[in-house]
Amino acid sequence: MDKHRTRRRHPVRNSLIAAGLVVVLAGGGGAVWAAERFLVEHVEIADVSEYEAENSTTTPTATEASGSVSGSTYTNGSTSVTVSTVTTGSGDDTVTYYVADVLLGDATDLRSAFAKDQFGQNITETTSAIAGDNGAVFAINGDYYGFRDTGIEIRNGVLYRDEGAREGLAFYTDGTVRVYDETTTTGADLLAAGVWNTLSFGPAIVENGQIVDGIEDVEVDTNVGNHSIQGEQPRTLVGVIDENHLVFVVVDGRDPGYSRGVTMTEAAQIMIDLGATTAYNLDGGGSSTMYFDGEVVNQPSNGGERGTSDILYVAG
């Protein structure tokens, strides 16, 4: 991968959240509510690192800081991350995406981190800033938990939120990863079963090696600015190849001639072609970001990184 290639930039586009706020603010009476709900930081836990040290149900495997990067591959013992770029199609039908093949020596080598080391709503930093603060060699944006107040959020063996609402993804300490229905369980039950991290976005796009029916019609949320995830969009995806063998994909989009983005069905096919038997959709659009060896490797559709609530990462 050429880390020094010239990157194309285009004007920053307003996020869907901002567009939604314009509508609400135009109504007059909703101005205060909109600002409070979508702009003001609501900090529930001010020092996540300390909180996790006191409350984690799992002790992560200690990893010595002896990893190294050679070209597009990071290795540290039996943990490795290999990043590659794929381009298909031509002209306005071109699609460009970035693939990280991740082998974990231990399931707890895949960690989560929050913006500003805080948990709450509307707390954001760029993926690269959160990654840098946590010594990450590889990272992707997560589920943007802070845009909503629902979902089961377990991070690094700690339960932060227990409001089941949608289809989630659970990473277990034994290296397995499963799609599950948040509304039929609790965070306590998941922790007791050995869950290390959960993500709450979705939907699942591949199960048992097959494209899931109906994914073109799913809405993740029905609040302002986040109704639909359909159409040709930038995507952040996670797939499961085997125990402790994952594949992460970031698809760039909204830039004809470089990358148009992909539909949900196209995203699912990409994951199947990479060997994933299970795949799950994360926050996309302007949030879609992949970070490796000190830099952002993709071209976020806003013309630069957009702030996000959280990342998944492998420490360097």
Distance CA 180, CA 167 (A): 6
Residue 2: Cβ within 10 Å count: 7
| 2 belongs to a structural domain | no
Q: What's the half-sphere exposure (Cβ side, CA atoms, 13 Å) at 217?
A: 3
pLDDT at position 264, please? 97
8 Å CB contact between 310 and 137: no
Q: 36: pLDDT confidence band, cut at 50, 70 and 90?
A: low
List 95's β-bridge partners, or say none.
88
Q: 47: pLDDT confidence band, cut at 50, 70 and 90?
A: very high
Element (H, E) at 131: helix 127-133
More confident residue, 62 or 256: 256
pLDDT at position 195, please? 98
More confident residue, 156 or 38: 156
pLDDT at position 286, please? 94
Q: 20: pLDDT confidence band, cut at 50, 70 and 90?
A: very low
Distance CA 126, CA 117 (A): 13
285 secondary structure, DSSP code: G
Q: How far is CA 8 from CA 45, 54, 89, 98, 99, in A?
A: 38, 45, 18, 16, 20
pLDDT tops 90 at residue 213: yes
| 151 belongs to a structural domain | yes
pLDDT tops 80 at residue 30: no
- Nearest Cα neighbor of 20 from 37, 6, 5, 4 is 37
Range(s) of the domain holding residue 230? 16-315
pLDDT tops 60 at residue 287: yes
Into how many domains does the chain fold? 1
If phi > 0 it is left, if psi is from -120 to 50 it is alpha, else beta; for residue 254 that is left
Q: 66: pLDDT confidence band, cut at 50, 70 and 90?
A: confident
pLDDT at position 8, please? 43
8 Å CB contact between 196 and 178: no
pLDDT tops 70 at residue 34: no
8 Å CB contact between 220 and 201: yes
To the nearest whole number, what is the mean pLDDT of the chain? 89
Element (H, E) at 54: helix 48-55
Distance CA 283, CA 53 (A): 27
pLDDT in tens, 99-156: 999 999 999 999 999 999 999 999 999 999 999 999 999 999 999 999 999 999 999 9
Distance CA 251, CA 233 (A): 8
| Secondary structure class of 78 (helix, strand, coil) | coil
Tell me the average pLDDT across 29-53.
80
8 Å CB contact between 242 and 1: no
| 86 belongs to a structural domain | yes
| 11 belongs to a structural domain | no
Q: 60: pLDDT confidence band, cut at 50, 70 and 90?
A: confident
pLDDT at position 64, please? 59
167's tokens:
């289809």
pLDDT at position 27, please? 52
Tell me the average pLDDT across 3-15.
41
Q: How far is CA 130 from the centre of its chain?
A: 13
| 4 belongs to a structural domain | no
- Nearest Cα neighbor of 271 from 206, 216, 213 is 206
How many helices (DSSP H) and strands (DSSP E) are in the chain?
Answer: 6, 21
pLDDT at position 173, please? 97
Q: 220: pLDDT confidence band, cut at 50, 70 and 90?
A: confident
